[in-house]
Amino acid sequence: MSQRSLSLRLWYTFLKFVCQVLAVLVFRIRSFGRENVPETGGGLVMSNHQSNMDPVLVGLSTRRRLNYLARETLFGFAPFRWLIHSLDAIAIDREGLGLSGLKETLRRLKRGELVLMFPEGTRTWDGEFATLKPGFCALARRANVPLVPVAIDGAFEAWPRSRMLPRARAVRVQFGPPLWPSDMERLDDAALVAEIEGRMKACFEAARRHRREIG
């Protein structure tokens, strides 16, 4: 990306390689439907949320670089703040994006980048798919970018909220066909939420099916 220094691009590539090796060895990660991610242009990648690893797992599963939304409380510890900044994190407040988070997210989308969102709002307590919050609708319409559904399965078993540290479990990631801006024009917010929720659920069912195939 022209917006980033060579050192930051190399750092991202190095960390992605290290995490990819670990994910394959520990979680036997496999991804499906990566061809559904647009090769160029901005987009909102919409994922379910099973664990703290989800941003990394989705990022490893696409060829393109992702931007991540992170709670502003995570930026308090200086070394960790530097790390997540170097990996393109965008600070958001507890109630949503907040004005500064919204502006920065729109800026990156308009310059043709991908931003990962978890529209369920929080990590699952039981590993199942949760109802989506509608906050992404205004952002999607203002940015005029496609919504790319994706789902993770197995991350909850690897690192549920009740565990301090992750454990070795198989993880599967499934991308689905994007919802394009031209399709969003005919939908009100309720119908938009229902449409993307249906696509994400289809991805979730496919990811779970892939994981169960390994026995």
Domains and CATH numbers, the chain: 6-212 (3.40.1130.10)
Q: What is the pLDDT of residue 96?
A: 58
Question: What is the spatial distance between Cα 49 and Cα 54, in angstroms, rounded to a whole number?
Answer: 7
Q: What is the pLDDT of residue 114?
A: 97
List, for the chain, all residue ranges whose pLDDT scores fall below the cut of 50.
1
Q: How many helices (H) and strands (E) does the chain have?
A: 8, 7
Q: What is the pLDDT of residue 98?
A: 65
Q: What is the pLDDT of residue 212?
A: 92
Going by the DSSP 8-state scheme, the letter that residue 71 receives in this structure is: E
Whether the Cβ atoms of residue 171 and residue 127 lie closer than 8 Å to each other:
no
Q: What is the pLDDT of residue 1?
A: 43
What pTM was computed for the model?
0.92
Q: What is the pLDDT of residue 79?
A: 87
Question: What is the spatial distance between Cα 158 and Cα 163, in angstroms, rounded to a whole number?
Answer: 9
Q: What is the pLDDT of residue 110?
A: 94
The DSSP line for 84-120 is HHHTTEEEEBTTBSHHHHHHHHHHHHHTT-EEEE-TT
For 21-40, letters b (16+ CB in 10 Å) and e give: eebeeebebbbbbeebbbee
